[in-house]
Amino acid sequence: MSGRRLAAVLSGILILVIFAAIFFLYPQAKRQRYIFEKKRAQWLALERAIKNQTRKFSGKSGIVVKGLDTNWQISFNKEMIFPSASLVKIPIMAAVYKAAVEGRISLAAKIKLKPKDKTSGSGELKNMPAGSLFNVEELIERMVDSSDNSATNILIDLLGQEYLNRSFKEFGLRHTNLTRKMMDFSNRKNGVENYTTAADMATLLEKIYRGKLCNSFISRKCMELLKKQKHRDRIPAQLPRQTIVAHKTGLEMKACHDVGIVFAPKGDFLICVLTKGVVNSRVSKKFISNIALEVYNNYLFAGPKGVFD
């Protein structure tokens, strides 16, 4: 075969390949565009639904919802300051693990429960006999999964507020602070309060989810504990029972929160809902669970493996 004839044959084959690629890939690209537009439209509808919920709510709210596959985000008042209540236990947890990695403390170190350590509110340590021994990691677990206030205060004393607040800044938290211990009513009465925002909680949770909160070890340990949360009357309340939610609640007078990661069948999402100004916490809890359900339903039908695929 002459060189000219070979070139003509190769040219013909190339043309056939190009047409074949156009024939097969153009419909696929068009289909992917259709899927994207459907998902985008549903996301905008979700934003309108959440906005409608916030208008009906009698208190103030700070909200961040983020699709962890698309990075699309919906937010309302995300920089508004709220009393953090037990949400501050998330960055405390991370800071204690960070201190262990730095060699400041040992997670296996035993700590003796003293009478002065016992405080009211959530948790079982307040009912245990003085002299009971717990290692540091057990205290972290109790602080998070059952929101134990006594365990939290022991860990605050262990590391000190200065170290904890410095760690919060290192985590990228702009408005989250620790100025008093749990159930310190006298300081609270004098206006000394711990604060946070929906934006800060979203930043912290996304770093945990992506394994970037200091390092993968700390992120993994935090995620494992958040998945063990026992209070399920807010974000998980209306979701299918088997849904995995890594989250932390917060509750004090006129403040009710829940922040977490929902591992939905069609795509994981981040949700942070902080509220204040409502006396009846049941109203706030219902508001939070309604928003979580709206987001879950959006992901159920329009996630990356949804019915439009």
Nearest one of 77, 295, 301 to 199, comparing CA atoms: 77
Flag whether 67 is in a domain. yes
Flag whether 224 is in a domain. yes
User: Does the structure show a pLDDT above 50 at 191?
Assistant: yes
The answer to whether the CB of 275 falls within 8 A of the CB of 288 is yes
Which domain range does residue 97 map to? 53-302
Six-digit token string for 264: 């939905």
The answer to whether the CB of 178 falls within 8 A of the CB of 165 is yes
Amino acid 93: pLDDT: 98
Amino acid 42: pLDDT: 87
How many structural domains are present in the chain?
1
Six-digit token string for 228: 């063990």
E strand or H helix that includes residue 270: strand 267-276
Angstrom distance (rounded) from CA 140 to CA 241? 26
Quick: pLDDT tens for 231-268.
999 999 999 999 999 999 999 999 999 999 999 988 89
Flag whether 24 is in a domain. no
Flag whether 259 is in a domain. yes
Predicted TM-score (pTM) above 0.85: yes
Quick: pLDDT tens for 101-126.
999 999 999 999 999 999 988 889 99
Give the domain CATH number at 269.
3.40.710.10
Nearest one of 138, 141, 142 to 123, comparing CA atoms: 142
Flag whether 263 is in a domain. yes
- The mean pLDDT of 206-226, rounded to a whole number, is 97
Flag whether 40 is in a domain. no
Flag whether 29 is in a domain. no
Flag whether 34 is in a domain. no
Tell the residue number behind the tokens 């953090």, with chain if given.
Answer: 84
